[in-house]
Amino acid sequence: MTSDAHRHWQEIYAKQKTRKPKFPTSSFEPEPLYTSGDLPQWQEERDLGYPGEFPFVRGIQPSQYRGRLWTMRQYAGFGSAEETNARFRFLLEQGQTGLSTAFDLPTQMGYDSTDPIALGEVGKVGVAIDTLADMELLLKDLPLGKVSTSMTINATASILLLMYQIVAERQGVAKEDISGTIQNDVLKEYEARGTFIFPPGPSLRITADIIAYCADALPSWNTISISGYHIREAGSTAVQELAFTFSNAIAYVEAVRERGLDIDAFAPRLSFFFNAHNHFFEEVAKFRAARRIWANLMRYRFGAKDPKSWMLRFHTQTAGSTLQAQQIDVNVVRIAYQAMAAVLGGTQSLHTNSRDEALSLPSNASALLALRTQQVLAEETGAADVIDPLGGSYYIEALTDRLETEALALMKRVEEQGGVLKSIETGFIQREIHHAAYQAQQAIEHGEQKIVGVNCYQIEETTHPPVFHVNEAVARGQSDRLARIKAERSSVDVERHLDTLEQAARGTDNLMPHLKRAIESYASIGEICTRLRKVYGAYRDPGYL
């Protein structure tokens, strides 16, 4: 209810000359002032509670960063396995606390580096991995029992995870000590990103196979990182990022429960991946709203009893789509503010982009500066000294509630469409994202949304930073290595294991043990995916047919 004092202020404010808010692409236009009357109704009945307690809006750990800083997990991967291994070791030496791996497009799409469709893409946007031999080189001399590794891989996540497991086992690492995350979120590929192989149904089956397999084989592994990041990068709003991410999560949980697994047997290993975008306060509120949405979903919709199942654990990456090719040093400022929003929102791990990523893969110097940005944030700003420092802010709490309310409403619309798979098939989710992206671009082109250096504060730049290029010899090296591996391995064993895998794909067996045997025989990603395409077919986006 609006107080007399607030009404009095509104009358005075209305007589003032004021400027228009600068974020027309935000999910909401903010009120000029927030007071206790703008707080959610439930907050009038009880306080916010404490970090580490349901519904975890203030954080999942009682001590937050006073107990342990977030993991600084810088994303890296390019060229050959040897080159990426060298970048990993460089970042670990500079104080990085977790690894994060990018794979090239042929690896993501299930093609060998020698396939004609891979021409010009080998090693370009990530590291090229064809067989177990490449993974052995990628992870050479890395302490896999002590460092956790994230792998941004989806359609071929099962193969890359098993390669990682095999290398770790050969290092002598116990299964309980093999830790990390695979993205393994193929549904968002149909919605926003495009690196899918098989139709949604079979892809969802493989995802469920992975989650079920890891419950015993890799108990410390985060089996999926349900990604809002790429939904936001495709142009969605913050509300859409939340709604479509959690709609996807519901589909994954339901698919695994259909296998007969108890919710508390796998839910604690589910994790999330969110975007830290430009609207500072909206992003902080988004992370807080996300924790409450997930806690309520798991406890009340799915009946989880273990509090660890209610806790939303997430990685954050600063928004690559906000980086500009003009005045690239300004990107450092954007990245720093986005990183601060992620930290004040309570992220568990963080990747800060590099200033030159609008031009090319980041150089060593840019990657180091990105890491130093996190280290300054942790060590010099005081941001990690207080738990949920913005909690209780009238604006933050009102924004948190509104984001949650509108995200839940959009999730209901997805269910009314028949769920995620049906929404993908009809293009509902894709159209919603495309419309938001179009509106955002229109705001920029009409000057309503200011982008420094792009449509305001422009300068003529006479010098340009050096651009990092992947050596074209990488593709030749991959071709030579793959030919050597095929010559040295047992072709009889490879064919036998691929035949068994194909047979299992036609049935209902969990594919992971069959995949593992094929990988151990040094079958290539391309050979494995060719067999699975025979069974499942290859998906083509109906919007492009």
What is the per-residue pLDDT for 29?
A: 76
If you write DSSP's letter for every residue of 259-281 in order, what string do you get? Answer: TT--HHHHGGGEEEEEEE-S-HH
Cross-strand pairs, 127: 103
What is the per-residue pLDDT for 74? 79
Mean pLDDT to the nearest integer, 266-287: 96
Cα gap 182→201, rounded to integer Å: 20
Q: Write down the residue that tokens 């949304």 correspond to.
A: 449
Phi, psi for residue 454 in degrees, rounded to 5: -105, -55
Specify the higher pLDDT residue, 155 or 469: 155
What is residue 416's three-state secondary structure? helix
Provide the H-helix boundaries in 62-131: 81-93, 105-109
Three-point CA angle 256, 540, 78, nearest 5° = 80
CB 374 within 8 A of CB 339: yes
CA 338 to CA 218: how far, in whole Å? 33
Instruction: State yes or no: pLDDT of 42 exceeds 60.
Output: no
Average pLDDT of the residues in 154-167? 97
What integer is the mean pLDDT of 439-458? Answer: 94
Whether the per-residue pLDDT at 8 is higher than 90: the answer is no
Q: What is the pLDDT of residue 20?
A: 66
201-251 residue pLDDT tens: 999 999 999 999 998 999 999 999 999 999 999 999 999 999 999 999 999
Of the candidates 274, 145, 261, 156, the residue with the CA atom closest to the CA atom of residue 211: 261
Q: How confident is the model at residue 475 (pLDDT cuts 50, 70, 90)?
A: very high
Give the per-residue pLDDT at 364: 84
Q: Is residue 544's pLDDT more than 70? A: no
| Rounded-to-integer distance, Cα 410 and Cα 100, Å | 32
Q: Look at residue 545 in the predicted model and tell me its pLDDT.
A: 43
Mean pLDDT of 477-484: 96
Percentage above 90 pLDDT, the chain: 78
Q: Residues in the chain, how many?
A: 545
- Cα(91)–Cα(75) distance, integer angstroms: 10
pLDDT of residue 98: 82
On whether the CB atoms of residues 109 and 155 are closer than 8 A, the answer is: yes
Mean pLDDT of 85-97: 88
In the predicted model, is pLDDT for residue 496 greater than 80?
yes
- In this predicted structure, what is the pLDDT of residue 2? 59
d(CA 85, CA 68): 27
Q: What is the bridge-based pairing of β-strands 221-222 and 349-351?
A: unpaired
What's the confidence (pLDDT) of residue 44? 46
Using one digit for the tens of pLDDT, what is the confidence trace for 349-379? Answer: 999 999 999 998 888 899 899 999 999 999 9
Among 23-27, 50-54, 170-174, 385-389, the range scoring the smallest mean pLDDT is 23-27
Q: What is the mean pLDDT of residues 342-346?
A: 97
More confident of the two residues 53 and 472? 53
d(CA 209, CA 511) in angstroms, rounded, equals 7
CB 243 within 8 A of CB 428: no
State the Cα–Cα distance between residues 222 and 242, nearest whole angstrom: 20
Neighbours of 544 (CB within 10 A): 6
Which range has the worst mean pLDDT, 76-85, 418-427, 485-494, 497-506?
A: 76-85
Q: Which of 101, 126, 104 is nearest to 115 (CA)?
A: 104
Q: Is the per-residue pLDDT at 154 higher than 70?
A: yes
Q: Both tokens of residue 383?
A: 């941001």
Q: What is the DSSP letter of 544?
A: G
Contacts of 247 (CB under 8 A, 6+ apart): 411, 414, 415, 419, 420, 423, 429
Domains of the chain, first to last:
64-76+183-445 (3.20.20.240), 473-533 (no CATH)
Of the candidate ranges 27-31, 124-128, 220-224, 441-445, the one whose mean pLDDT is the lowest:
27-31
Structure confidence at residue 46 (pLDDT): 47
Question: Which tens digit of pLDDT belongs to each residue from 383-406?
Answer: 999 999 999 898 999 999 999 999
Q: Is the pLDDT of residue 43 over 60?
A: no
- Confidence (pLDDT) at 45: 43
* Mean pLDDT, the chain, integer: 91
